[in-house]
Structure 1
Amino acid sequence: MFGRRSGINGRFDDPRAHDGKYPPDWDARRKAVYERDYYTCQQCGRRSGSHAGDGGVVLHAHHRQSLRDGGWHHLGNLVTVCQYCHDGIHGHPTGSGYGVGGFNGLRVLRTAGRAFLRGLRWVLR
């Protein structure tokens, strides 16, 4: 399923094998992860594409173990999450829409709101 025909080159599993944050075959990798996970966020269960019926949510491929902590771009280290869960995981807006107009403002408010509620829950314990 994820061999040569998929456009994924195994030598780019190692982040040191290329320049930049993402390998040249990143689009093929993230699409393979979405397909493997049935276009479903593995955190909240929201769906995207034809699986959602109405276009659904924006999906991201998230590194389970971050590159900073020694993670690789191997498909086993990637998981499908929706944009909102991805923002929550990182505690700030993520993805290509980051920094784009009002859309970004709404994402920042949602992320800040989640952080505020987490803090409030912690205080109330």
Structure 2
Amino acid sequence: MFGRSSGINSKYDDPSTYDRTYPPDWDARRKAVYERDNYTCQDCGLRSGPHAGDSGAILHAHHLTSLRDGGWNHLGNLVTVCQYCHDGIHGHPTGSQYGAGEHNALRVLRVVGRAVVRGLRWVIR
């Protein structure tokens, strides 16, 4: 499914093979994850890409196991999440739009709201 024609080089699956956080083929990996996940946030279900046009969610590729905790850049360790869910997962604003004045108060409310909902789900279980 993903090989040389996709622009993904498997040698960069392991972060010890290069000296940066994101490998040189990160853009191809990110796009492959979005396509695999049907341009849909795997946390809340918000859609983007061909499903939502210009009004779609801003998507991020999230490491299930962080690089800091020994995770790899392999596609199996990456999942599509929207910017709001990504903020909630990390507990702070994420992505290139951070600090760009992009309705930051609304983003904070959404992050807090998602954290509260997660907490309630945990209590209910």
Which residue is equivalent to 2:86? 86
Does the 8 A contact of 2:85 with 2:111 survive in 1? no
Which residue is equivalent to 1:50? 50
Partners of 1:113 and 1:34 lie apart in 2 by: 25
- Shift, 1:110, TM fit: 3.3
- Shift, 1:106, TM fit: 3.6
Which residue is equivalent to 2:19? 19
Counting aligned pairs with the same residue, the percent is: 74
Moved more, 44-53 or 71-80: 44-53
Q: Give the TM-score normalised by structure 2.
A: 0.84
Q: Give the TM-score normalised by structure 1.
A: 0.84
Partners of 2:60 and 2:20 lie apart in 1 by: 18
Aligned length: 123
Does the 8 A contact of 1:40 with 1:46 survive in 2? yes
Does the 8 A contact of 1:97 with 1:103 survive in 2? no
Which residue is equivalent to 2:62? 62
**Where does 1:23-38 land on structure 2 (aligned, <5 Å)?**
23-38=23-38
Which residue is equivalent to 2:4? 4
- Shift, 1:49, TM fit: 1.5
Deviation by residue 1:42-75 (Cα, 9 ceiling, x = unmatched)? 1111100221245310000000111111000000
- Over 3 Å counting, the alpha-carbon distance change for 1:76 and 1:111 in structure 2 is same
In structure 1, the residue corresponding to 2:61 is in which secondary structure? strand
Does the 8 A contact of 1:97 with 1:104 survive in 2? no
In structure 2, the residue corresponding to 1:57 is in which secondary structure? coil
Partners of 2:45 and 2:114 lie apart in 1 by: 18
Mark the runs of 5 or more structure 2 residues left unpaired by the alignment.
none
Q: Give the letter for the 2:50 counterpart.
A: S
Does the 8 A contact of 1:49 with 1:55 survive in 2? no
- Shift, 1:108, TM fit: 3.4
- Shift, 1:105, TM fit: 4.5
Partners of 2:38 and 2:66 lie apart in 1 by: 23
